[in-house]
Structure formats: structure tokens, C-alpha cells
Structure 1
Amino acid sequence: MTTLTYAVRDTRTMLRRNLLHMLRYPSLTIMLIAQPVLFLLLFVYVFGGTMGAGLPGGGGRDAYLGYVSPSILIITVASVALSIAIHAAKDATEGIIDRFRTMPIARSSVLSGLVGAAMVQTALAVAVVLAIAVALGFRPDAGIGGWLGAIGVLALLALALTWLCVALGLAAGSVETASNTPMFLLILPFLSSAFVPTDSMSPGLAWVAQHQPFTPIIDTLRAFLAGHDPGSDLWWALGWCVAITLVSFAWARRLFAQVRAG
């Protein structure tokens, strides 16, 4: 077999290992889904009436459900990514990665298998949260192209944030640190267009919101699901996702080569 064939085989083995770990601890997946669902219920049923009235063109709770549901899907992606930092830190600090290095397997398969399992877990979580949003009354107007665009944006963001959290987990030095370091990924959406339009913010906060990664990504997803053209937001979203992926991938590979059991 060729080197590529060995790498694919080993990646498949590592993917199966991580998926089995996910199945062994279903409570973690449930918690990852429960958090964005709670955000959805909170913002729609507690704040939705008031915040919906402040949307362009007005509207009430139903209008706000349509506005906030794409944001909750983005938060779902970030929530799953956070858990991957803990997995990476656990493997690094408990010596599992060192043991893998002594085995005749492709080194790239260790991280690729972890990322692949995270993508599967993300797809499951997003599907469940989207189904709950639809059950609450969310009605996307997207056509086939819009749905493909929305899936593509979510997949690219999941890949970017997963590689970033793998790197943060390997750099953390402990599971405790890894559980806290990526928390900014859940804070940044609150400083974006996720819950209110940026033009309703104070000038300083609006500038921050307009120039951070989550705003164009959320606006692009929102446009696709609404059946609209995302315009320049799409290119900003793609640029941020690709840049984060490339930098995080390179950082994770370098950290992986330096890992020593604690």
C-alpha cells in the first residue's frame, strides 16, 4: 500500500476510536446540545417579544426566532469545538499521544481522526438544534442553493474552530486549562450581530462587532437560510474560516510534534 493509503487507513481507525469514545459518553453530547437549546429558548421566549420589536421592519417573537436561530446554530458549532480542546489536552497530558508515536501509524491520523469525529458530532448537534428551532416555528425560506450554502458555511466554520480548539487543547498543558481557554468562542457571538443588529449598538461596540469573524459568518448563514444573497459577507466569512483553519492547522501540527506526557 502507498503512504497515502496507510494514512487514510490509520485516520479511519482513529476516527472510529474517537466516535466510540463519543458513544461511550453520550451525556457530553447531550450537554453540548442542551446549551444552545437553552440559549434559543431564553432569547426567544424571555427576550424575543421586546427584541423582535426592535428589528428592522418591526416584528415580534416569531420574527426574532427567524433572526436568532442562525446565530444559535453558530453557537452550537462553537460549543462542540470547545469540547475538542478538552479531548486534545487529555490525550496530550495522559501520554496517549506519546504511545501513538511508538506505534507504526501515520502521525497525521491522530489529529485527523479527532477532527473527523468532531465534525460528525457537530453535524449531529446542528441537526438536533435546527430541528428544535423548526419545531418552535422557525421557517427558513432557503432553496437548494441556500441550503447548500448554509451547510457549507457551517462545515467550514466547524473545521476552523475544531482545528483552533485542537491547538488550544495541545497548548493548554492541562485539562482544566483547556476547558477555559477556548471560552472566548462563546463570548464573541454576544459581541456580534448574533442577537441584535450591529447598527443598534453604541459606536465603539458596533465597530468591534463589525470587524470580528462571527458577524460576517452569522450574517452569511442568516442570508442563506432566508433565501437572500449574502453579498460581500460571504467573502469575509470564507476568508475568516480559511485563515483560521490554516493558522490553527499549522499550530496544531507544531504542538503535536512537541507534546510530552505530563
Structure 2
Amino acid sequence: MNAISASLTDSATMLRRNLRHTTRNPLALFNAVIMPIVLMFLMVYVLGDAFSVGVNYADYATPGLIMTTICYGISPTAIAVNSDMTTGFINRLRVMRISRAAVLNAHVIVTMLRSLVAITVIIGVALLMGFRPQAGFLQWLGVIGIIALTVLAIGWLTVAFGLAAKTPETAGLAAVPLMLLPFLSSAFVPADKMGPGARQFAEYQPFTSIIETLRGLLTGTPSTSSTITAIAWCAGLALIGYLWARKSFTKRG
């Protein structure tokens, strides 16, 4: 067995372990879904009429709620990664012939699977609340691709946060800035309607380009420039998270 196949086999083993932990802790998936649903009801039914966005507000807000769902689902990953490091699980693996990278890969994959399930639920609720996407088949493929890239990037950043934290509690808190970023983007109100400072930050932070790409694809009016920018941000964040995670893992492992 060569190194690549061994790493894949080890990753599958770690993935099964993490999936079992997830099924035994459905609260993690519940938390990732319930808060975005509450936000959806709040934004669409309570505050939506206060915003002038030029379109049905459910159509406008759903891409932002997809991003919010991704961000609200990352805290369990940071805590789980840190727990593996601080409870001695990684030390026990030292005496076994298992790929160190498999541990990190499994956490990222589980994060992606959990996020995709939560996003599917959120889109279903959005449809019940008036969301009417105009995307064709290829545009839906684009939506899925952008979501997958985003979850991959945020997943690696979350793993890095978990490895860098000293305790599981601080690991959970380390994910809070990512959870807040959608509110400082064009998720719920156009950036050009924000005040000075907030407007510039919202226009140039990474989540805005990702949200605008999803919005364009879902409404059937994709933008090449925002798509390229979103892909570049996802690739850059994924690379930063991966390199940071590997460095922290090697240092602490």
C-alpha cells in the first residue's frame, strides 16, 4: 500500500469515527440549523419590509442565510479538533501507523457534510417562506460548487482555530468572528446602504463576494467578476487555513 492509498484509508477510518460522534451529538446539527431559521423568520417576516432591496426580500436574504448557516455550524468542529489535541487522542495515535493528516481531513469532511445537510434544510424553509430561485441546471451546479468551496475554506480555518486554541472552550469562542462576518456583509442589506466605514468593509470582505455570487446564480444573473473574486477568496482562505492547521498540528503533535 502506497502513501496516498494509506492516507485515504486512514482518512476514511477517522471519518467514520467523527460521523459516529456527530450522530451521538445531534445538538451540533440542530444548532447549525435552528439559529439560521430563527434569523430567516426575523429578517423576512419582521425586518424585511424595512429594507429596500428592489426584489422579493426572501430571494435577497437566502444567499446570506446560506453563508450564515455555514458559519453557525463551525463551532463544534473547532471544539472537536481541540478536544482531540487536549484529551490525548492524538498522542495515542503516535504508537499506531496512521497518517497524521487523516485526523484533520476527517474533521474538514464532517464539517462539509454537516453544513450541506443544514443548508439543504435552510433552502427548504426559504422555499416555504417565498424564496423563488430562477437558476437553471448549470447555475445550480455553480451554487453547489461555490458552497462546497466556501465550506472547505471555512472548514480548514476552523480546524486551524481549534488547533491554535488552548482549551475547547476558547476553541469555540475562536470561531465567533467568522459567525459575525455575514452581518457585516451584503447578506441582509446592500453594502451601499451602510454608513461610512461599514460600507467599505462590507464591500471588500470575502463573504460579500461569495454571497453576491450565490445571489447572482440563484436569480439567474451570474456575475463573472464576483464569481472569480469569490473563488479566489475561497482558494486563499483554504490555503491559509490548511497551512496554519498543518503547522499547528506539527508543533503541538
TM-score (norm 1): 0.94
**Match among 217, 220, 227 for residue 227 of structure 1:** 220
Partner Cα distance (1:224, 1:101) in 2 = 46
Unaligned runs of 5+ in 2: none
| Matched residue SS, 1:47 | helix
Matches within 5 A, 1:47-62: 47-51=47-51, 54-56=52-54
**Match among 113, 122, 142 for residue 115 of structure 2:** 122
Partner Cα distance (2:157, 2:95) in 1 = 26
Partner residue of 1:46? 46
Partner Cα distance (2:214, 2:75) in 1 = 21
Partner Cα distance (1:210, 1:136) in 2 = 28
| Cα drift, residue 24 of structure 1 | 0.7
- Total equivalences in the alignment: 253
Partner Cα distance (1:45, 1:248) in 2 = 37
Instruction: Kindly indicate whether the alpha-carbon contact (under 8 Å) linking 1:81 and 1:158 is maintained by their aligned counterparts in 2.
Output: no
Partner Cα distance (2:112, 2:181) in 1 = 21
**Match among 97, 108, 115 for residue 104 of structure 1:** 97
Please give the per-residue CA displacement for 1:148-195, whole angstroms capped at 9, x wherever unaligned.
111111100000001001000110010111111111112111111111
Partner Cα distance (2:111, 2:133) in 1 = 26
**Given residue 95 of structure 1, which amino acid in structure 2 is its aligned partner?**
G
The question of 1:172 aligning with 2:202 is answered: no
| Cα drift, residue 83 of structure 1 | 2.0
Partner Cα distance (1:101, 1:76) in 2 = 35
Partner Cα distance (1:147, 1:4) in 2 = 32
Partner residue of 2:22? 22
Instruction: Kindly indicate whether the alpha-carbon contact (under 8 Å) linking 1:97 and 1:259 is maintained by their aligned counterparts in 2.
Output: no
Partner Cα distance (2:78, 2:42) in 1 = 27
Partner Cα distance (1:175, 1:3) in 2 = 32
Please identify runs of 4+ aligned residues in structure 1 that moved more than 3 A. Answer: none
| Cα drift, residue 137 of structure 1 | 1.6
Partner Cα distance (1:159, 1:39) in 2 = 24
Unaligned runs of 5+ in 1: none
TM-score (norm 2): 0.97
Partner Cα distance (1:37, 1:90) in 2 = 29
The question of 1:256 aligning with 2:246 is answered: no
| Cα drift, residue 124 of structure 1 | 0.7
Partner Cα distance (2:234, 2:95) in 1 = 34
Please give the per-residue CA displacement for 1:211-258, whole angstroms capped at 9, x wherever unaligned.
101110100001011111223111111111000000110110111112
Instruction: Kindly indicate whether the alpha-carbon contact (under 8 Å) linking 1:85 and 1:166 is maintained by their aligned counterparts in 2.
Output: yes
Instruction: Kindly indicate whether the alpha-carbon contact (under 8 Å) linking 1:84 and 1:166 is maintained by their aligned counterparts in 2.
Output: yes
Question: How high is the sequence identity, in percent, across the aligned residues?
Answer: 40
**Given residue 90 of structure 1, which amino acid in structure 2 is its aligned partner?**
S
